[in-house]
Structures are given as C-alpha cells and as structure tokens.
Amino acid sequence: MYPILLVIAGAIFIPGFIARTRSISAGRKGPGMFQHLYNVRLLLRKGNVFSNTSGAVQQVAPSVVLASVLLSAFFIPFAGKPGLLSFSYDFVFFACILGLSRFWMIIAALDAGSSFEGMGASREALYGMLAEPAFFLLVGALALITGHDSFVSIFSSGDTFNLGYYFAALLGAYILFNIMLVENSRIPVDDPRTHLELTMIHEVMVLDLSGIDLAMVQIASFLKYGIFSSLMAGSIIPANWQLPVQIAAAFGILAFTGIAVGILESFKARNRLNKNFQYILTISAIALLVLILALLTLQ
C-alpha cells in the first residue's frame, strides 16, 4: 500500500506547497496549506447545474475522469514495491488510462456547446498529443538501460549504482516535472489564475462544471501531482535504501516539487500560445536525447 499512499500524500501536500510558496513570494498571508481541500469539501456539498446546451456526456465525464486518474495511480511503484496493479509494459496502459481521462475531459468541454470551451478543448488535445511522446521516449530509454519492462522492475534497477541509469533518471525527473506542468495546465503552459477565456486551457474547460462534478475534476488534477511526483521519486531514490530513508526522501521530493512550481509561477509569466509548441517539443527532444544515449550504452 505504500505507493498509493505516496500518491495521495502528493495530492494533498503539493497544491498546498504551491499556494504557500506563491503567497510568501508575493509577501501575502495567502491561503493555508489545505485550502484546496476545504474548497473541494464545499463543492461536494453543492448540487450540479447543467446548461440547456449540454448533454449526457458532460454529466458522465467527471466520474470517468476521476476514475481514470485514480486507476492510473494504482500503477505507481515505490521502494521496490509494485503498485496495486503491475504487469509487463504496464507503463503503456498507464499512459492510455491518462489519455482516456484527457479524452473525456475534452468531449465534456465540447458537449457544453460553448465556443470558449471548444478552444480550450482543442488546445488540451494538441498539448496532450505533443507531451505523450516525451513520456514514451523516456520510459523506453529507462527500459533499454535496465533491460526490464515494467515500472517496478525498471525503478528497482537503482539497487546497484548505475551511472547511465541515474543520469537518465535525473533527466527523466526533469522531463516528468515538465509533463506534470502540461498535464495540470500550469505556468508556463497555462496560468490557472487567469480569467481571460481566450488564453485559458484547463480553466475554460470546466466553466460549465459545478458542485460534485467540479470537485471530482479538481481531485483528479490533485492526484496528477501525486502521480508524477511519485514517478520522479521512484526513479531517483534507490530501492535498496532503508524504508524510513526512502519515505523521507520521497516527501522531500514532494515538497521540492510543490515549492518549485510555486517559485516558477511567482517569477515567470505564462508562454504565449505559439511558444507552447516549442516548449513541449523541447521536452520531447530531451527525452529523445535520453533514448539515444541509452541506445549508445547498449553498443
């Protein structure tokens, strides 16, 4: 059960670290560490309101989005322990499940019948399509270096000090961090604080959601923080360390992730939309470099 608990811890603490870091950087008191959880609790107490132009897709989509993201969290390993679900090439199924959640989020936005949400949906589809190759290139490189074909076996290869693996893992952590920013529509790809529909991505897609449906989408977003930060921790932390040391190091990575996102959002502006393509393709280019280095090490 340790891996899923780490994902849940990331979902709870990383948004809080982001909010607190932004507040401190701006010299404001700001919200508390768990304000995002209080907001979700308030939404869970409210009913749903649907527009006259929306159909059944928008009513079903939030449940599918949350279920898909939660299922993907079951594949995350940690400390040499497999996730609740583990099998050969499980990372392919993991990516497909995350893609399924994105697909339902997109068609829910289109089902609302709003041109603004349609723009956000098209951007979400494009950015997701550009980011997925970076993930597959990265995991493929780690699989080549280690000779294994599942999350837990790949990450457990850090038992012995392998310079090639750790170099790839450090670059992989950077790639996963940036994929997390794309998946959650954070700066520099999108600014969750903006209210100008013409430049929004995720926030404009949920304009017609309310109550429990909006809460489920927000919980799914929080879980993505835990998923990608747990992947970063699992790839970097050696599996043969003592369990208390591994847990402490993992929480350090969770805290670092939240603080890094908060600092990034405090001192960097979001990209212009035409710069996002270059940014995401750069992530894929770095992942391709890791794959090429992995191929060279096999020669």
So where are the chain's domains? 2-297
What average pLDDT does this structure show over 120-128?
Answer: 90
Closest to 231 in 3D by CA, of 102, 17, 72: 72
Residue with tokens 């847990």: 247
What average pLDDT does this structure show over 114-143?
Answer: 90
What pLDDT score does 238 carry?
A: 84
Q: 0.85 cut: is pTM over it?
A: yes
Is residue 198 very low, low, confident or very high in pLDDT (cuts 50, 70, 90)? low
More confident residue, 43 or 204: 43
Contact indicator for 25, 87 with CB cutoff of 8 Å:
no
Say how far apart CA 223 and CA 103 lie, in whole Å: 17
- Taking only the tens place, the pLDDT of each residue in 153-165 is 988 875 555 677 8
- The residues, ordered by sequence, that sit 6+ positions from 123 with a Cβ below 8 Å of its Cβ are 201, 273
Which tokens is 9 given? Answer: 């811890």
Q: How far is CA 50 from CA 53, 59, 106, 165, 236, in A?
A: 8, 8, 17, 50, 45
Q: Count CA within 13 A, CB hemisphere, residue 105.
A: 34
- Taking only the tens place, the pLDDT of each residue in 7-38 is 999 999 999 999 999 999 988 888 889 999 99
Q: Is the pLDDT of residue 249 over 70?
A: yes
Contact indicator for 260, 177 with CB cutoff of 8 Å:
yes
What pLDDT score does 286 carry?
A: 94
- Taking only the tens place, the pLDDT of each residue in 256-273 is 999 999 999 999 888 888
What pLDDT score does 173 carry?
A: 93
Which tokens is 57 given? Answer: 């897709």
Candidate from 68-77, 101-110, 155-164, 273-282 with smallest mean pLDDT: 155-164
